[in-house]
């Protein structure tokens, strides 16, 4: 009988060791997945509001969209073929289109937070951009797709703003165009 009990204890020990190894491997894989994609484990839903001023003066429409938290970080505009990526400091931003549109601009997109408008992207036809620069001060980002893309930031950030000039510059560095 003693040998039978010893075999049972060895078998139980082996099962426990296998269980521990499997649990450890699962934990390591979970930690790696969380480190490579922080949103992979938990993606709460946030609501972003996009107010749009149409090309017709005086015609204002508002669009609300619910997006997964992972999506708010990536802004993409298919009409003008550009995109930006935002970090945590921009959470809750809204986008207003064509407000205070400068002369010769095709469109503009004001990225707003509660404490103001830290970034506005302007789109000009490439052929109009040099003339527009004579009357409107903005910083060129790039030219592509027949457009010239430029931006302006707020003149000075509000004292209580969590958004730094570096955070705005970091977003501009992510600017990409597509076809």
The answer to whether residues 28 and 9 belong to one domain is: yes
**Percentage of residues in the chain with pLDDT exceeding 90?**
43
The answer to whether residues 76 and 163 belong to one domain is: yes
Position with higher pLDDT, 147 vs 31: 147
Q: pLDDT at position 89, please?
A: 87
Give this prediction's pTM: 0.61
The answer to whether residues 56 and 68 belong to one domain is: yes
137-157: pLDDT as tens digits: 999 999 999 999 999 998 777
List, in sequence order, every residue forming a beta bridge with 51; answer none if it has no partner. Answer: 62, 96
The answer to whether residues 77 and 135 belong to one domain is: yes
List, in sequence order, every residue forming a beta bridge with 149; answer none if it has no partner. Answer: 123, 142
**Domain span holding position 8:** 1-42
The answer to whether residues 19 and 70 belong to one domain is: no
Q: pLDDT at position 59, please?
A: 33
The answer to whether residues 74 and 121 belong to one domain is: yes
For the chain, the distance separating the N- and C-terminal CA atoms, rounded to the nearest angstrom, is 78
Q: How many CB atoms lie within 10 A of CB 171?
A: 24
The answer to whether residues 58 and 7 belong to one domain is: no
As a whole number of angstroms, the distance between CA 159 and CA 115 comes to: 10
The answer to whether residues 111 and 122 belong to one domain is: yes
As a whole number of angstroms, the distance between CA 90 and CA 112 comes to: 9
Which range has highest mean pLDDT (24-38, 46-60, 115-129)?
115-129
Q: Are strands 116-125 and 105-113 parallel, antiparallel or unpaired?
A: antiparallel
The b/e string for 4-18 (b: 16+ C-beta within 10 A; e otherwise) is eeeeeeeeeeeeeee
Q: pLDDT at position 35, please?
A: 59
As a whole number of angstroms, the distance between CA 104 and CA 132 comes to: 6
Position with higher pLDDT, 64 vs 118: 118
Does residue 177 contact residue 82 with C-beta atoms inside 8 Å?
yes
Q: pLDDT at position 23, please?
A: 84
Position with higher pLDDT, 10 vs 50: 10
The answer to whether residues 15 and 76 belong to one domain is: no
The answer to whether residues 37 and 61 belong to one domain is: no
Per-residue pLDDT at 162 exceeds 90: no
Structure tokens that stand for 85 in this block: 């990526």
The answer to whether residues 109 and 144 belong to one domain is: yes
The b/e string for 41-72 (b: 16+ C-beta within 10 A; e otherwise) is eeeeeeebeebebeeeeeeeeeeeeeeeeebb
As a whole number of angstroms, the distance between CA 105 and CA 62 comes to: 21
Q: pLDDT at position 61, please?
A: 33
Structure tokens that stand for 139 in this block: 């910083």
Per-residue pLDDT at 47 exceeds 80: no
Q: pLDDT at position 45, please?
A: 33
pLDDT grade for 114, boundaries at 50, 70 and 90: confident
Q: pLDDT at position 159, please?
A: 77
The answer to whether residues 53 and 11 belong to one domain is: no
- Give the chain's domain count: 2
């Amino acid at each position: 009988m003693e040998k039978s009990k010893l075999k049972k204890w060895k078998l139980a020990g082996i099962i426990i060791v296998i269980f521990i190894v499997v649990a450890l491997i699962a934990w390591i894989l979970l930690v790696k997945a969380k480190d490579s994609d922080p949103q992979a484990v938990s993606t709460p839903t946030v609501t972003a509001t996009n107010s749009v001023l149409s090309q017709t003066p005086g015609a204002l429409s508002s669009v609300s969209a619910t997006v997964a938290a992972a999506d708010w970080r990536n802004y993409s505009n298919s009409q003008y073929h550009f995109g930006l990526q935002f970090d945590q400091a921009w959470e809750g931003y809204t986008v207003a289109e064509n407000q205070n549109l400068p002369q010769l601009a095709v469109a503009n997109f004001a990225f707003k937070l509660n404490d103001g408008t830290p970034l506005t992207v302007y789109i000009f036809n490439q052929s109009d951009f040099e003339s527009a620069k004579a009357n409107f001060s903005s910083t060129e980002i790039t030219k592509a797709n027949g457009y010239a893309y430029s931006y302006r930031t707020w003149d000075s950030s509000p004292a209580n703003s969590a958004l730094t000039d570096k955070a705005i510059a970091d977003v501009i560095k992510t600017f990409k165009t597509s076809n």
